[in-house]
Amino acid sequence: MAPDSRRLALYPGSFDPFTYGHLDIVKSAVNLFDQLEITVAINSEKQGLLSVGERCEIIRETVADLPSVVVVPFEGLLVNHARRRGASALVRGLRQVSDFDYEFRMAFANRKLAPEIETVLLLTSEEHAFTSSSIVRDVLRWGGDISHFVPPTVARALEKHRSGK
């Protein structure tokens, strides 16, 4: 297949940190698109747990066995980045009904700005329906076992971060 006829989707998010729920979505999306870019948003207004560079590095290690996936940091308007990259779709994950409102608003805003780019909402597995980055940050903060919520690559990096190494 010619490179320019490949379908690229972006999976944007903060991923602070990347969880099993995110990994679920990546695994579903790689079966739907030729290429998937995990787009790690830089939010200069929000002090994250991990730097965007650290997040990208950890995610790259986590998805190293998925050759059609790349991990790219980005700052700005998502649809501008998507157009520059030639993406045809934006992928987002849905865990519960309560995610719907936010995702709908974002999808419609993005559609207004870039009608040619489709938002595709994918369901997380039931097992990870209650996993979120904020829960992981909280469990980590209070010394709990994060291995239920994040892949081993992420858990190792977070433990290192916690111990300041």
Binding to ligand PNS in span 78-137, by CB under 6 A: 78, 106, 109-110
Binding to ligand PNS in span 61-80, by CB under 6 A: 77-78
Give the nearest distance from C-beta 105 to ligand PNS in angstroms: 7
The pair of three-digit structure tokens given for residue 131, joined into one six-digit string:
């996993």
Select 90 or 155, whichever has its Cβ closest to ligand PNS: 90
Q: What angle do CA 52, 141, 25 make, to 5 degrees?
A: 50
Going by C-beta distance under 8 Å and a sequence separation of 6 or more, which residues neighbour residue 44? 75
Going by C-beta distance under 8 Å and a sequence separation of 6 or more, which residues neighbour residue 56? 40, 71, 72, 73
Query: Which strand (E) or helix (H) includes residue 133?
Result: helix 133-141
Strand ranges inside 5-106, DSSP E: 8-13, 35-41, 69-74, 89-94
Nearest to 22 by CA among 5, 39, 34: 39
DSSP structural state of residue 6: S
Residue 40 in contact with residue 76, Cβ under 8 Å?
no
Give the nearest distance from C-beta 2 to ligand PNS in angstroms: 29
State the binding string over 23-62 for ligand PNS (x if CB under 6 A, else -): ------------------x---------------------
Give the nearest distance from C-beta 92 to ligand PNS in angstroms: 7
Catalytic sites, residue numbers = 22, 46, 95, 133
Give the nearest distance from C-beta 121 to ligand PNS in angstroms: 13
Is residue 150 part of the contact set for ligand PNS (CB under 6 A)? no
Kindly determine how many residues on this chain lie close enough to bind ligand PNS according to the rule CB under 6 A.
9
- Of 10, 11, 13, 82, the one binding ligand PNS (CB under 6 A) is 13
Which residues of the shown chain bind ligand PNS in the complex (CB under 6 A)? 12-14, 41, 77-78, 106, 109-110
